[in-house]
Each structure stands twice: as structure tokens, then as C-alpha cells.
């Protein structure tokens, strides 16, 4: 038995072979995470003293980060006491994770490769979540995939998902070829820590690619419920796709007071909007990065590229939050 001590002052015990992230959760200590497979870097923290042991490859870290003492808490354990520098969730208590049955309420094609799925929960079920979190869907054959919740209606009996087709994906074959209304599935969640922290007075910026707009949509809807003193100074949403049909939702129509900038990387000659990558378009808008907080959701490449560009341009490193969609990983949102 060893002890993990966080820079926030939290401490908890850990058994050899158990991940730091899991040990924290069992002790009621909430640390940031997303994929739980070592492939993104949401759970990145720095070893200040002591040594940790690797449980599986840390693909979400560069060699330089590893050399500087950064680790991923989802795939690291410890057999002796360790002190870590880790992000504080600001006293936010995560909703209880549950496994519940659910049925498909509706299926709707939003784009050739994107499906809107509405799930119905049992009438007696109680399911709370923070806008921006995701759930795991467990199919009849035990295949498990993760999808962000695209609605802010916590406590309701329906959940909205935006599901992108993945070539060769087992769950994609089900969703796009076999799924029908009233099918029985199971869900596990809510999961992840991609949700608003304190944003009062800041310029809140969302960067999304593909179905990464789903949790952004949920968070945008939730902003309407914030008290005036809790609201950001401004809200800007940049959503990127390859072609116009990739931008399948009417983000401008959501009630939050926000600026919406659609971005295409392979637009035809008729496109009059922004072109390129969302992080580059954001920088071309000359934002006040000293007063900004950025939430990025979508491809792993976009997230790492955006974080590098924006931090080098002046964004405080601790004001960049992300949720990377790692295709077909058992515990990654997609």
C-alpha cells in the first residue's frame, strides 16, 4: 500500500497494479480524465517526488513530456509514496457512475456519416450528468464504445448522441446497418471531466471538429441556465469539417449568446466562410488569450495542434481543456 499526494492537498491510498486515476476515484478524489486508455492527455500530471510504474503505453505523451516527469494517471500505478502536480476540478463533485438499460427512441441521419440517436431510459431511472460528459454504450455482444451526450437535459428520461460512422467499426456496423427503434442496450456513465469550470468574466472559446460538436452543444445549452455573475464575458464557437455537409447542426440557433464561426478544410469554390484548421482560424481572429479559456473537442490531432499553437501564442496552459475522440478505443469518446 502506498499513498498518492496531490498538489491540491488531496491524498489517497493506492494498491500496486491499480491506476492512480482508479485509486483516486475509489477514494472520492476527482481527477481529470477522458479516454482512460493512455491515448489522450486529459489526465496528464507531473511527478514531483517518488516513482510510478507503467501499466500500459502512454501514447498521449511526447518523449519530451516524459523526460520532464509528466505521466498519465489512467495508466500509471505506484508501489511507494508519490507527490503529483495535478489539475484541481475546483470542488466539483462528479455524478455517480451507473450501468442502466436503455432503448433506442429514435434514429435520424444528420449527415451521410453521422447519426442522431435518442435513447430512452426506464421511467424509474435516475441519471444525472454534467453537460460535456460522455457515456459508454454496451452492445448485445459486449462491444463497448463511448459517445458524448449532446443535450444538457440532465435528469430527463432521454439522452441524445451524435454517432459518426467508423470504417470497419463493430459498433458502426450496428448503428448504421442494424439498429432499430426499441432495441435494448446498456449504458454506463456519466464519464469524463469535459465540463465547464469557472468561466465568469473570461472569453470562453470552443474548438470542435466533426461530432466533437456534440458536447459543445450540450455545454452551450447549459450556459443559458447560469446566473449573470457566473457567465463568461463572451462565447465563441469554431466548428470545423472538411465539406459543408459535415457541419450538420444549426449551432447559431442555440440560445446561448455566442459567436459562431464555421470552418472548412476542403471547401469548394462556393464556400464564403473560413477555411483551414479551427486553431489557425481562431488565431486569425486575434483573441485576447490572456483572458481566454479554451475547450477543444474532436480529433486527437486537432487537440494537440491547437494546444501547442495557442499556448505558444499566450494562452495560459491551465486554461486549455480537451476531450479527444480516439476512434474505436474501448473507452474513448467518438
Cα Dmax for the chain: 63
Q: Which residue has the cell 464557437?
A: 237
Domain boundaries along the sequence of the chain: 2-85, 98-191, 203-325
Which superfamily, per CATH, for 2-85? Beta-grasp domain (3.10.20.30)
Q: What is the pLDDT of residue 24?
A: 93
Q: What is the pLDDT of residue 326?
A: 67
Q: What is the pLDDT of residue 327?
A: 56
3-state SS class at 20: helix
Q: What is the pLDDT of residue 224?
A: 84
Helix, strand counts (H, E) of the chain: 6, 19
For residue 275, the cross-strand partners are 264
Q: What is the pLDDT of residue 135?
A: 97
In the CATH hierarchy, which fold is given to the domain comprising 98-191? Elongation Factor Tu (Ef-tu); domain 3 (2.40.30)
Q: What is the pLDDT of residue 255?
A: 78
The whole-angstrom separation of Cα 92 and Cα 224 is: 19
Q: What is the pLDDT of residue 90?
A: 66
Instruction: Give which of 127, 239, 259, 235 is closest to 190, Cα–Cα.
Output: 127
Tens-digit pLDDT string for the chain (334 aa): 899 999 888 899 999 999 999 999 999 898 999 888 898 888 999 999 999 999 999 988 888 899 999 999 999 999 899 999 988 776 788 999 999 999 999 999 999 999 999 999 999 999 999 999 999 999 878 899 999 999 988 678 999 999 999 988 889 999 999 999 999 999 999 999 999 999 999 999 999 999 999 999 999 999 988 889 999 999 999 999 999 999 999 999 997 789 999 999 999 999 999 999 999 999 999 999 999 999 999 988 899 899 999 999 999 988 999 998 765 544 334 4
The grid coordinates of residue 296 equal: 477543444
**Model pTM greater than 0.85?**
yes
Which burial class, exposed, middle or buried, applies to 52 when counting CB atoms under 10 A from its CB (0-12, 13-18, 19+)?
Answer: buried
8 A C-beta contact, residue 190 and residue 87: no
The whole-angstrom separation of Cα 277 and Cα 44 is: 25
In the CATH hierarchy, which fold is given to the domain comprising 203-325? Rossmann fold (3.40.50)
Residue 128: how many CB atoms within 10 A of its CB? Answer: 12
DSSP H or E stretch at residue 186? strand 184-191
Amino acid at each position: 500500500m502506498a499513498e498518492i499526494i496531490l498538489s491540491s492537498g488531496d491524498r489517497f491510498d493506492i494498491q500496486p497494479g491499480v491506476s492512480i486515476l482508479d485509486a483516486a476515484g475509489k477514494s472520492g478524489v476527482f481527477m481529470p480524465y477522458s479516454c482512460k486508455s493512455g491515448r489522450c492527455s486529459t489526465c496528464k500530471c507531473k511527478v514531483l517526488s517518488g516513482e510510478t510504474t507503467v501499466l500500459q503505453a502512454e501514447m498521449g505523451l511526447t518523449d519530451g513530456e516524459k523526460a520532464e516527469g509528466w505521466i498519465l494517471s489512467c495508466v500509471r500505478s505506484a508501489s511507494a509514496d508519490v507527490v503529483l502536480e495535478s489539475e484541481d476540478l475546483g470542488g466539483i463533485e462528479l455524478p455517480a457512475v451507473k450501468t442502466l438499460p436503455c432503448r433506442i427512441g429514435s434514429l435520424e441521419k444528420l449527415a451521410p456519416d453521422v447519426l442522431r440517436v435518442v435513447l430512452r431510459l426506464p421511467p424509474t431511472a435516475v441519471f444525472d450528468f454534467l453537460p460535456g460528459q460522455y457515456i459508454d454504450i454496451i452492445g448485445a455482444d459486449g462491444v463497448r464504445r463511448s459517445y458524448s451526450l449532446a443535450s444538457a437535459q440532465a435528469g430527463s428520461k432521454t439522452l441524445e448522441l451524435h454517432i459518426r460512422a467508423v470504417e470497419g467499426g463493430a459498433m458502426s456496423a450496428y448503428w448504421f446497418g442494424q439498429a432499430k427503434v426499441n432495441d435494448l442496450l446498456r449504458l454506463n456513465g456519466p464519464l469524463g471531466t469535459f465540463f465547464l469550470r469557472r468561466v465568469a468574466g473570461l472569453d470562453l472559446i470552443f474548438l470542435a471538429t466533426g461530432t466533437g460538436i456534440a458536447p459543445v452543444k450540450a455545454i452551450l445549452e447549459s450556459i443559458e441556465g447560469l446566473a449573470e455573475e457566473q457567465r463568461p464575458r463572451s462565447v465563441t464557437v469554431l466548428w470545423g469539417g472538411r465539406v459543408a455537409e459535415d457541419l450538420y447542426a444549426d449551432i447559431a440557433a442555440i440560445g446561448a449568446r455566442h459567436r459562431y464561426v464555421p470552418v472548412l478544410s476542403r471547401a469548394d469554390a462556393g464556400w464564403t466562410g473560413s477555411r483551414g484548421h479551427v486553431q489557425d482560424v481562431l488565431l486569425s481572429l486575434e483573441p485576447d488569450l490572456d483572458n481566454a479559456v479554451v475547450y477543444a473537442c474532436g480529433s486527437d490531432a486537432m487537440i494537440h495542434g491547437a494546444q501547442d499553437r495557442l499556448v505558444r501564442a499566450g494562452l495560459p496552459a491551465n486554461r486549455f481543456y480537451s476531450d479527444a475522440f480516439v476512434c474505436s478505443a474501448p473507452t474513448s469518446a467518438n
